[in-house]
Amino acid sequence: MKLQMQHAQGIRAKTATRSMPVLSRRALSVKAIASEPRIEVPSSLKGASAWSPVTWRSKPALQQPDYQNRDEVVKACEEIARMPPLIFAGECRTLQQRLAKASTGDAFVLFGGDCAEAFSQFSANRIRDLYRLLLQMSIVLAFGGGVPIVKLGRIAGQFAKPRSAPTETINGVTLPAYRGDIINGPEFTEETRRCDPWRLVRAYNQSAATLNLLRGFSYGGYAGLSRVSQWNLEFMKNTQEGHAYMDIAKRVDEAIQFMIACGMDTNMPFMRETEFYTCHECLLLDYEEALTRLDSTTDLWYGCSAHFLWCGERTRQLDHAHVEYLRGVNNPIGVKVSDKMDPNDIVSLIASLNPHNTPGRLSIIVRMGAKKLREKFPALIEAVQRSGQTVTWVCDPMHGNTETVSGYKTRRYDNVRAEIEAFFDVHDKMGTVPGGVHLEMTGDNVTECIGGGASISEDDLNSRYHTHCDPRLNAEQSLEIAFYVAQRLRQRREAMAAKVAAEAAASA
């Protein structure tokens, strides 16, 4: 397996205008991922017009770090480009199939994980706790909703964060803003806030180690259905949500025992394994370019830093670098949109990112706050419906509900739930499909969001406030959200069944 070096050549473009480099014949001939038999792909899907992993450099690129030494950036990215991909093209194709089902209501997507991963908080236990919390939530959603749950962790790559301002001032001292551990450090010192290119390599190595553990969990028996009752977090045992989860786990165990009695083989893959995918914001384009590979089974480009990549609200401009990069990779992708999105613009954006209208290719992740979502979201749905475009609609109830209380950035559980409620209500009214939820959450017992079953008050925020960036739901709050979403999925399923029965009776 040879490594794709075309992007490494592109990294050497160091001019202020980001002019595109000339690609060598050797660079054009190198391929990377070889994991499956040759797949015949329709010519209409083979790459975007005039696209390569470096064409983003000809566009304005927002939210990029101001490195003092571009030569060091080149060296760090070339080192990453020589390393193996973090994920494989075949996994992305499978995920796209799952997301296509979510767009029609035949599955539901659960995104969850840290606001921003941190080098200092990296440990096997923290990875395990987030993983099993996502497993718990998926069981609750599947049991209540009656559909498969597509699990995507904001992990193994969610290091970079967009900032509202390039600098931060404390006590009269102004320094560069903290942009995530892949770029600089959170400590307010001149040395730590300097953008360090070699953090790129450290982020890659941490992502590779994280993925190694996640794959072990997913395919080594830890995620088997027979272990459902063993996934509960220790500090959740005496909580209302913990007890409710264990009640479901007991019922799952009873169902499994019944199926075994009927002759089911417990060694079947669906009993021992689970699919788990990774995702992060496609923000730091030097890093993404260094991990872009040409799949030798399809001759298609893939962003091999994660299975699913999304473009944020601050970087979704149609003629800018992030959209240019994402339009050419064949991963399933997403775009986050706020109440500022114009219905005409969303149609144009979807046409650019999913020109062949492929189901599962594009998710629209809505982040508005409950009130604005009820006001603005219907017009976006109507515009997409009129255009005949296919997307998976996902609710991000976190980013439209951030506020500052007693000097801490926080979110109120009631506001988070209210936005999810509004999301389902709008879809029910429009007759469209709620495809998923996207949460910033952790398996740690933190006190960063106010309210919920955890009863965290404003005075509790300084107790266990550990995030380096935005506040996260803790395990108890996350499970409470899962139970609510499961209730809405069940209600939707029952309403659809009643409608089908009524139509059948009317036509009889």
Q: Which domains does the chain have, with CATH numbers?
A: 6-18+44-223+273-507 (3.20.20.70)
For residue 1, what pLDDT band results from cuts at 50, 70 and 90?
A: very low
Alpha helices in 187-264 (DSSP H): 190-193, 199-219, 240-261
Tell me what pLDDT residue 319 has. 96
Amino acid identity of residue 53, one-letter, is P
Please write the tens of the pLDDT for every residue from 291-322. 999 999 999 999 999 999 999 999 999 999 99
Tell me what pLDDT residue 233 has. 58
Tell me what pLDDT residue 461 has. 77
- Tokens representing residue 446 in the block: 């933190």
Cα-based distances in Å from 12 to 51, 76, 124, 192, 286: 18, 11, 36, 25, 10
Tell me what pLDDT residue 240 has. 73
Tell me what pLDDT residue 34 has. 32
For residue 264, what pLDDT band results from cuts at 50, 70 and 90?
A: low
pLDDT at 109 over 70: yes
The distance between the two most distant Cα atoms of the chain, rounded to a whole number of Å, is 78
Residues annotated within a binding site: 115, 154, 313-314, 336, 367, 399, 440, 470
pLDDT at 222 over 60: yes
Residues annotated within a binding site for phosphoenolpyruvate: 154, 313-314, 336, 367
Distance CA 442, CA 113 (A): 6
SS percent in the chain: helix, strand, coil, step 5: 45, 15, 40
Tell me what pLDDT residue 47 has. 46
Instruction: Please list, in sequence order, all residues whose beta carbon lies within 8 angstroms of the beta carbon of residue 178, skipping any fewer than 6 positions away.
Output: 161, 163, 168, 184, 185, 186, 193, 468, 469
- Tokens representing residue 182 in the block: 């892949």
Residues annotated within a binding site for Mn(2+): 115, 399, 440, 470
For residue 436, give the H/E element and its range. Answer: strand 436-440
Of 150, 134, 181, which Cα lies nearest the Cα of 442? 134
Please write the tens of the pLDDT for every residue from 437-450. 999 999 888 888 88
Tell me what pLDDT residue 44 has. 44
Tell me what pLDDT residue 267 has. 67
